[in-house]
Each structure stands twice: as structure tokens, then as C-alpha cells.
Amino acid sequence: MTTTQQTRTAADAGRAGTAAAISVRGLRRTYGKGADAFEAVRGVDLEVPVGTVTALLGTNGAGKTSTLEVIEGLGRASSGTVEVLGLDPIADRAEVRRRTGVLLQSSGFSGDLTVTETARLWHSTLTTPRPVEEALEMLDLRDRAAVKVSALSGGERRRLDLACTLMGRPELVFLDEPTTGLDPESRREVWRLVRGLRAAGATVIITTHYLDEAEQLADRLEIMHGGLIVRSGTAGEIADGHPSTIAFDRLERALPSLAGGTVDPSSYGQPRTVVETVDLQATLTALLDWARAEGVRIEGLDARTASLESVFLAIADSSTDDRRATAAPQSAPTSAPTSAPKGA
Amino acid sequence: MSTIDLTPASYRPAPSGDFDPSAPDHHPHGSPVRRVLGMARANTVLLMRNRMTFAYAVFLPLVPLALLFASERGAETAGISALANVVMLSAIFPVYYNLLSLTVTRRDELVLKRLRTGESTDREILASMALPGVVVLLAIVLLSVPLAAALGQPLPHNGVVLAVGALLVAAAFAGLAFWTAAWTKNAEAAQLTSMPVILVAIVGSLWAILPERIQPFLEWTPGAALDALVRIGWFGQETDGAAVSFVDSFAAAGQPLVTLAVWAVVAASLAARSMRWEPRG
């Protein structure tokens, strides 16, 4: 994890928008020893270009936070190399911290301090801080300035946390589930902030359970599963090549040939029949032509192109998570429904 | 919602105001002192806001002086014991117990984890937590000088010895507080987990009433060392009561100062090995 002259030069060039803000090679991270050893990250390669927004997605336990902690310099890798702004997050800690802002998954504040006191505390630890008032204004917390943190709502506390994260005008921002627990209006406000950061030239890496959020904000998505990055690219690239689906209430008769569409075997005998196809238009046309010719009424018809969500759910359902060598009863990675978008 | 936008222009550091390099600021942003003082300020606010802890921290250590009213005016034995107890209670309450509960509470609130994501180093975070209690200890020792004098006790014979002793005992108990916090489950549990250290702290002051056989061991407790330092540094007496000159008092204070220094080093190393930054879980 040494920093060579070459990478420093790369970092300098990075400010012009060509190099990587984060460069991770072969990152592995193991917790525990011997039979209890658990490899949470199993060889992650990640490149985050300067000035972009990258979303790190995955089910609970996929290894997102473990990966982020190493990049943030809060945890050590078992093996692999990590460069942040061309620097080593542990050896060059002081400089890296000055230029980065971190929002952890859970906020950490003293309940007995007021919003202003908390913000002032953060202000005192920063090298190039925004004024306290400006940081609070940014997250719409001015009216709450004199309120104790313990009396804030979950969303307000999260906004205070974000105000602290952005107070130091970071070039690189880590946001670990920034909108979890926020009301829809606050979520939009956070989105606006993230877009503002990008417009200002900052680099953002964000984890979220909301796929629509990732699609809205990120230039690039990285989907993690079982300690690995299993899919990367734009939302379109990720969905590309994945089958589209047609679903309808079960018909009491045999289906015709559907121009390449095949019935998903798991829907046999179920109330809903699901057809998968790589050519949605052709298959749908074949189905509807057949229905008109035969006078069949298709109830509950639903046709959709492959979406980020369907790809994500397919990945989450796949059981490639074999990180635990021992047969100890370990709760399975949280299944898809809990991590699917919850409204909004 | 907010009216401020994160435009590229707004994103650059402001050229003046906060960042005016000509401003008379001895601790500019980005300096360790600035960070420690900023965090210590918040910790002081927290200490004062918790009225119970604050009362224990500030008033309890002064109780032994009040007890001097009850003894014969200017009685040396009572004076030595009272002043040694003032320092020890300051080490126990504002330094040890306050720091223990502060560390456990802030760890469980994830404040420590959050602070570690920022520019502050681990040492700066720890120093900022210990600072308010150590300042209270030093203030109480200073305040004891006129209070004791008003009650007929002498002025300190060797202030340097006393000051070094007070700083060492503060360092030792700060380290012990971080170490205790490492195996203290939550703030309530601190009432129990603090007992062993508090016992070690007071056992040395009880030397007179404990059996003779264990006396050699007691000499190496922080309580006995403090007792000896108050006797030498404040009253100018050897342990056997013989008068000691100002110059000789430095040599006489050697053994108790070394004792406290050893406690401080051991405590710091225990703290460094065991420090936990996230909730025990």
C-alpha cells in the first residue's frame, strides 16, 4: 500500500478530471481467525473516476461497509492495495482526511449537545471549514440550531450528520446509506446536494438500499454480492442482456410458441405465469396475436424490460455467498424483499 | 428547503473571514491544539450539563477540607490526610469516574467512531476527553492552597513536587479510566466496574489502619505515594515526621514520584492495548 511518485502525479492530474479518486486492487478483508474466520471482502477491484458519483449496491452483508471502511482508512485490508486521491488512506491519513468527508451508516452524536454545539465541535476539527451557519443552512437546520440532538427526529439527525460531512468542503465524499430513514422531501434534498457536489467537481461514493436513488444519482453502479463486485456499469449497461418479463394470470390452456420467450419454470402451477424473453416486443406481439386469434382473454397482463431492480433481485437470490467455510448455522444473507425499494 | 446551492464557486474555501491568515489566531484551523480544544470544549459542556456528575466532580473532592473544621486548627496529621484526600478524590471523580462514563457513553452513542472519520487523531480525541477532568483536578488543588491556609494549614513547601505529583496522578487515572471503559458494557455498568480501581486508589490512604505485613506493598499504591508527596511537598516532612529542606525535598519525593510515574505508564499502556472505539457487542 505504498504510494509511489507515479500515483502522486496521477492524483495531481486527477484534479483535471482524468484519474481515479479511488483505486482498489484485489481487496480482501477477513474477520476473525481459524474456524471462525469470515472473509467479508473477497477480492474487490474498484475504480472511481474523479468528479463522478458511484453507487455501491448490494444486500445486507454483501461487503459494502467492509469495503468502504478500508477505503476510508477506518479498517485495514487483509490483502490488496487501496489508493485514495493517489494516497494511502492509512499512511497518508492526515492529508486524506483533510480532503475527504465521511458519512457513516449510523449517526454518532452526543444527545446532550445542541445542533450548533455539535456543528461547532466538527468545525473546530477541520482545516478548511465552511462557517457553522452556512453548513446548517445547507441542510435546512437553522431553525433547529438551539435544539438538543436528543430531541431531533431521525431525519434531522441525519441531516446534521451530512452537514458535518460536507462542512470541510471535501473533494471526495463517502455516503453510507445517506437517505435511510429520511422522508421523501428530505431524500430529494439529499439528492440535490449530491448533484451539487458532483457539479462542484467532487467525487461521491454512495451506498444505498434504494435502487431508484442509485439510478437517479450515480454515473456508475457497482453491485456487490458475497464479498465481490459481481456487476458494474451504468444502470442501462447492467440491465442490458438480462431477460425482460411478461406476466399474466394463469391460463387454462397451452401457450403457443412465443418468438423466443420461455415460461419461467418456477411459475409452473402458480397463479401467475411468467415468461422470460430477450426480445420483449416480438414475444409480446406473438402472445397478443395468439390471444386475439384464439379469443383468449389475458387477465393481469404485465410486461417489463429488464430493470436494475430485476437484475439486482436476481443477483440477491443467487446463492454464491459461500464465504463461511464452516457449516455453523449462520443466518443467510438478508433476502431480496427487505432490501428492495421501500416505496418512495 | 435550503437556499444555498453547492455551486462550484461556493464550494471553494472562502478567501477571508474564517480563513483570514492575518487574523490573530494562535491555533489556526487544522492544528492539533485547535482540534483538542474544540473537542474538549464540547466535553466540558457535557460534563457541566450532567448535574450529578458535575456535583461529584467539583464538590466531593473539597469535602475533606470541610472536615478540617472539625479538627484542631492547624493540626498537621489531619491536614496531611485531608489534603491527600482532596487530590485523591479529584483523581477519582473528575478524572477517573467522569472520564470512564464519558468514554463509555460516547462510545455507545457512536460519537467516537464518528470523530475518528474526521481529521482528529485517536490521541487528540482521547486528550480532549481527559482534558476537562484534569483541569478540574488542577483547579481543585490550586483552590486548596488558600482554603487550607484559611484553616490554619501551612502553604506548600515545594510546589513543583506537588504539581508534578498532581499531573502524574491525573495521567495515571485517565489511563485507568480508558482501560476500565474497555471492559465496561454500558454507562450503568461503570458503577460496578469502577470499584477495583477506586479500591486501589483508596487502599494506600488507609495504610495506618492496615496490618504491618502488607505495608511494604502499600508504599507502591498511588494513594500512599500521594500521601507521601503531600507530606513532603506541602508540609516539608519525611514519612517519619523529620523536617526536610526545600532542596532535599526533591530527592525525598523521588520514590513516590517514580511510583506515580510507573502507574501512569502502566495505565497508558493498558489503555492503548484495550481501547475500544465502538460499542461492545
For residue A111, give the 3-state DSSP assignment. Answer: coil
Distance from CA of B103 to the nearest CA of A (A): 11
Which residue in the set B2, B49, B120 is minimally distant from A112, CB to CB? B49
Check: CB of residue A40 under 8 Å from CB of residue A31: yes
Show the cell assigned to A245.
418479463
Of B11, B34, B121, the CB nearest to A124: B34
Nearest 5°: phi and psi at A64?
A: -65, -55
DSSP string, A262-274: EE-GGGTTSSEEE
Q: Flag whether residue A15 sits within 8 Å of chain B, measured between CB atoms.
A: no
Nearest to A290 by CA among A333, A246, A234, A334: A246
Q: How far is B108 from chain A (nearest CA, A)?
A: 9
Tell me what pLDDT residue A320 has. Answer: 52
Asked if the model's pLDDT at residue B2 lies above 50, the reply is no
Query: pLDDT tier at B10 (50, 70, 90 boundaries)?
Result: low
Predicted complex: ipTM over 0.90: no
CB contacts, 8 Å: B44 with chain A: none
B7 touches chain A (CB under 8 A): yes
| Contact flag B38-A202 (C-beta cutoff 8 Å) | no
Give residue-wise pLDDT tens across range B218-229: 888 999 999 999
Pair B91, B137: CB distance under 8 Å: yes
Strand order from edge to edge, sheet including A244-249: A262-263, A272-277, A244-249, A302-304
Position B112, amino acid: L
CB pairs under 8 A between A and B: 125
Give the nearest chain A residue to B32 (CA atoms): A125
- Taking the Cβ of residue B44 and every Cβ of chain A, the question of whether any pair is shorter than 8 Å is answered with no
Residues A291 and A147: their CA atoms lie apart, in Å, by 64
In A, minimum Cα distance to B121 occurs at A94
* Residue from A250, A253, A258, A309 nearest A274 by CA: A250
Rg of chain A, C-alpha, whole Å? 24
Is residue A237 within a helix (H) or strand (E), and if so which, with residue range?
Answer: helix A235-239
Cell of A257: 410458441
State whether residue B17 sits within 8 Å of chain A by CB. yes
Q: Given a cut of 60, is residue A300 above it in pLDDT?
A: yes
In SS3 terms, A139-184 reads as CCCHHHCCCEHHHCCHHHHHHHHHHHHHHCCCCEEEEECCCCCCCH
Is B114's CB within 8 Å of A108's CB?
yes
- Which residues in chain A touch residue B17, judged by CB atoms under 8 angstroms apart? 131
Residue B19, chain A, CB below 8 Å: the answer is: yes
- A137–B2 C-beta distance less than 8 A: yes
B35/A125 touch (CB, cutoff 8 Å), yes or no: yes
Is pLDDT at A79 greater than 80 in this prediction?
A: yes
What are the Cα distances from residue A112, in Å, to A179, A304, B117, B136?
A: 24, 51, 21, 21
Residues of B in contact with A111 (CB under 8 A): 109
* Chain centroid offset of residue A216 CA: 12
For the cut 80, the answer to whether the pLDDT of residue A337 exceeds it is: no
First-to-final CA distance of chain B = 39
Most A CBs within 10 A among B1, B44, B115, hence the mutation to make, goes to B1
Contact B1 A200 (CB under 8 A): no
Distance to chain A for B102, nearest Cα, Å: 10
Cβ contact, residue pair A104, B115, below 8 Å: no
The pLDDT tens digits for B239-256 are 788 899 999 999 999 999
> How many Cβ atoms from other residues are within 10 Å of residue A151's Cβ?
12
Tell me the C-alpha distance between B216 and B213, whole Å. Answer: 7
Q: pTM for the full model? A: 0.83
Per-residue model confidence as pLDDT tens digits over A234-282: 988 888 878 888 999 998 888 888 888 999 888 888 899 999 998 999 9
Task: Tell me whether residues A138 and B4 touch, CB distance under 8 A.
Answer: yes
Q: What is the C-alpha separation between A59 and A316, in angstroms, rounded?
A: 6
Mean pLDDT across the stretch A75-94?
A: 94
Angstrom distance (rounded) from CA A129 to CA A122: 9
> Cβ of B52 under 8 Å from any chain A Cβ?
no
Q: State whether A74 and B117 contact (CB < 8 Å).
A: yes
Mean pLDDT for the stretch of residues B79-92: 94
